[in-house]
A and B are shown apart, each in its own frame.
Chain A
Amino acid sequence: EPEVTQTPSHQVTQMGQEVILRCVPISNHLYFYWYRQILGQKVEFLVSFYNNEISEKSEIFDDQFSVERPDGSNFTLKIRSTKLEDSAMYFCASSERVNRNQPQHFGDGTRLSIL
Chain B
Amino acid sequence: GIQVEQSPPDLILQEGANSTLRCNFSDSVNNLQWFHQNPWGQLINLFYIPSGTKQNGRLSATTVATERYSLLYISSSQTTDSGVYFCAVLNQAGTALIFGKGTTLSVSS
Chain A residues at the B interface, C-beta cutoff of 8 Å:
33, 35, 37, 41-45, 48, 55-56, 58, 89, 91, 93, 100-106, 108-109, 111
Contact = CB atoms under 8 A, between A and B. Distances in A.
A103 B48 contact: yes
Interface of B: 30-31, 33, 35, 41-43, 45, 48, 50, 86, 88, 90, 93-102
A104 B94 contact: no
5 contacts: A35-B97, A43-B88, A104-B97, A108-B42, A109-B42
Contact of A42 (B42, B48, B96, B100): B100
Given A43-B88, A108-B42, A101 B50 contact: yes
Contacts of A105: 45
A89 B41 contact: yes
A106 B100 contact: no
Contact of A45 (B30, B31, B97): B97
When A and B form their complex, which 7 residue pairs have the shortest distance between CB atoms, in order from nearest?
A100-B94, A103-B48, A56-B95, A45-B96, A43-B99, A48-B95, A106-B43
A44 B100 CA distance: 9
Given A105-B45, A109-B43, A111-B41, A43 B96 contact: no
